[in-house]
Amino acid sequence: MEITTNRREAEHRGKQATMKPEPSSFRLVDKSDLAKGLFALYFDLAGEKVNKFNPDTMMELDGLLESMKTRDDIKALVFLSGKENIFIAGADITYIQAVKEASEGERLAKQGQSVLQKLERMPFPVVAAVNGACMGGGTELALCCKYIVVSDAPGTKIGLPEVNLGLLPGWGGTVRLPERIGLQAALDFILTGKTMDGPKALKLGYADACFSRYGFEAKALGFGARVARGEKISRPARKKPLAATVTSALLEENPIGRAVLFMQARKMILARTRGHYPAPLKILDVMSKSYGKPRGKALEIESKAFGELSFSDVSKRLIELFFATEKVKKQTGVSGARLQPGEQIQSAGLLGAGVMGGGIAQLLAHKGIPVRMKDIDLKGLAIGTSAATRLFSDLVKKRKMTRREADIRFALISPTTDYSGFGRADLVIEAIVENMDVKKKVLQEVEPLLREGATIATNTSSLSVSGMASACAHPENVVGMHFFNPVHRMPLVEVIRAEKTSDRAVMRIFELSKRLGKTPIVVRDGAGFLVNRLLMPYLNEASYIMSEGAPIEELDEAVLDFGLPMGPAHLLDEIGIDVAVKVAKILHEAFGVRAEPCKLNDRLVASKLYGKKTGQGFYVYDSRGRKQNLNPEIYKTLGIKPSAPSKARKADWIPRMTYLMINEAALCLAEEIVMEPLDVDLGMIMGTGFPPFRGGLLRYADTVGLKNIVTKLEEFEKKFGPRFKPTAPLVDRARQGKSFYS
């Protein structure tokens, strides 16, 4: 069976016969000492930290299966990983990224399906022993085994995350997972890419047994020994309440019920994605057509759809984003340097409680880092501890940790109204009021109390880190660590390098950010840093558009249709309109006429309508902070009369807001605020929710074409004023026929 790509075939044809053969990634071991006829097959990908499928490993596995299927001495086979805490990470997606046409993607899917079908049809029972990450193709391989046993280790995560790459499971996942755990449960996992741990896998019926992480391999082999001896193994019944069982029967076991199920799922997907992401819709289409069909026909439907998605622009953009985040995981924040052993942050102090401070404290404690949280009074501490308590309680409700685990982690937060305990901290994070004089004063107070070499990080969103560091005796220890709100949800951290910040301080915060589960980008100190510097022109222009009479809800809707997670008026409410006004003034002072702030938001601040935190802004919010409806007094407060926009005027809304961001991003690159376009795109996707399917702000700019953007900016400049004047770096790129990524 052919299992190589065209590129691989050419490489193999060009190899000399005298070259050494590549090391084997599979090892078959006789375990007859446990039970006659028991064998173990270990997957240990040579030269890699994780197991993943590529054309070579699939070819090798195919050959092994072919040789084993005629052996009469094998009574049972246990499929194990030779890696620690990893089963199979899935397929090597570099091969999918290289797909140039749909037929090539379809061929890759069919090749994988063929090998796994061979595993499924082995003349002896196969047991998949899953300990550690089991994703994508690993999950699909396990589904082809007669039995699956899993570990209760925290690192055991089982799932089909292909949808997050704009793909669908292409090796039988859409066919076999519904057979194993039921259609509704399978849809939930395949459409969202979420994972299940070992106990959950057992409860859902994916696994036949869940063993302790301690001595897991021995227990898995013991299970295999029972199979080899021919003992009867009963699959555990899926544990579902009676009502759920009845509902499942009504929806899954008859055509009309399934049609309703798929229709409702489609409505939910369209409401969430507005059709921008083709993979979830394609998954529904495939599963509705293949459910109940003969295996061969069902797999054919799946492989064809996989090919179509693998060639799509959306998949290419999402795969690029995946590789970008993987690249960050391997970085240290300083090119060519690594943090010395023992320099990692082990304990922290936090200045300023409140909601933001409480969120930061909870995040640190959740990752096992003790944190001393200080505020000037008990009221502030109460707000911070309440915020942390609420976040831990939410994790318990979502069953992501037990109540005992949450209590143990929460105990790592110790509130105080003085500086006691700060002398033991490796790191102090400042998260107090956004006022330069106050921040300087507090840093001057705390620095002398800290141990030598302790790092001081400020969570400022716009103030100069260099300015703050000037108040310290050791400015080399001062760095920016800008979290985005809400802390527990937003994945970005801007690591801000001031004029005198040391490599050590940058690397410590970069490493800590990754440990906290965040994506860090290093940004040079400057007004607004990166994300706020780009976001504020967008929000400012939205205010100008509203001041011209654009209906607020219609403008927000247009932005949602573009792919952002919320409209600009809603986002201003979330940020806090008072905060947005302050930041706009800072940027105006720094950048002059191109950052001329619209006065519209000043009227809301004057009326103390700050948005979500006051319950009213552009919209009205309930006691839990959920958006209800447009503020009925908003137009009166703003002093404007909304009017239905013309088609041409409405068509300009998105370019007016986004092209200003692109214009400013070109300057950020020229000024080396960040070093490469990828930093901009990661920052805007992770920090603002810029549509991932568009690849980020600058990928989007390249799609539109820089010449087209410059022409439109010049048109807007004549119509609306100098804030639209194209920046020299953008004009230069356009004139030279360059893109941001070329």
Cα gap 387→385, rounded to integer Å: 5
Cα gap 571→376, rounded to integer Å: 30
What residues does 428 pair with on adjacent strands?
Answer: 349, 456
271 residue type, one letter: A
Q: Are strands 26-30 and 38-43 parallel, antiparallel or unpaired?
A: antiparallel
Tokens of 547: 């001041």
3-state per-residue secondary structure call for 247-308: HHHHHHCCHHHHHHHHHHHHHHHHHHHCCCCHHHHHHHHHHHHHCCCCHHHHHHHHHHHHHH
Cα atoms found within 13 Å of the Cα of residue 614, Cβ hemisphere only:
19
Cα gap 322→693, rounded to integer Å: 12
- Which H/E stretch holds residue 690? none
CB neighbours of residue 247 within 10 Å: 15
What are the phi and psi torsion angles at 451 (to 5°)?
-70, 160
Nearest CA-CA partner of 524 in 681, 663, 334, 695 = 334
Cα gap 102→124, rounded to integer Å: 36
- Which H/E stretch holds residue 194? none
Nearest CA-CA partner of 491 in 326, 627, 203, 688 = 688
What are the phi and psi torsion angles at 372 (to 5°)?
-95, 115
3-state helix, strand, coil in the chain (%, to 5): 55, 10, 35
Contacts of 286 (CB under 8 A, 6+ apart): 168, 174, 301, 302, 305
Cα gap 630→617, rounded to integer Å: 9
Active-site positions? 482
Cα gap 284→269, rounded to integer Å: 10
Q: For the chain, how many residues are written?
A: 742
What are the phi and psi torsion angles at 415 (to 5°)?
-80, 150
Collapsing DSSP states into helix, strand and coil, what is residue 24? Answer: coil
Cα atoms found within 13 Å of the Cα of residue 577, Cβ hemisphere only:
26
Contact 673, 686 (CB under 8 A): no
What are the phi and psi torsion angles at 482 (to 5°)?
-90, 105
Nearest CA-CA partner of 544 in 409, 416, 615, 638 = 638
Contact 710, 726 (CB under 8 A): yes
Tokens of 156: 């055991």
DSSP 399-437: TSS-HHHHHHHHTTEEEESS-TTGGG-SEEEE---S-HH
Cα gap 482→469, rounded to integer Å: 15
Tokens of 116: 């796994």
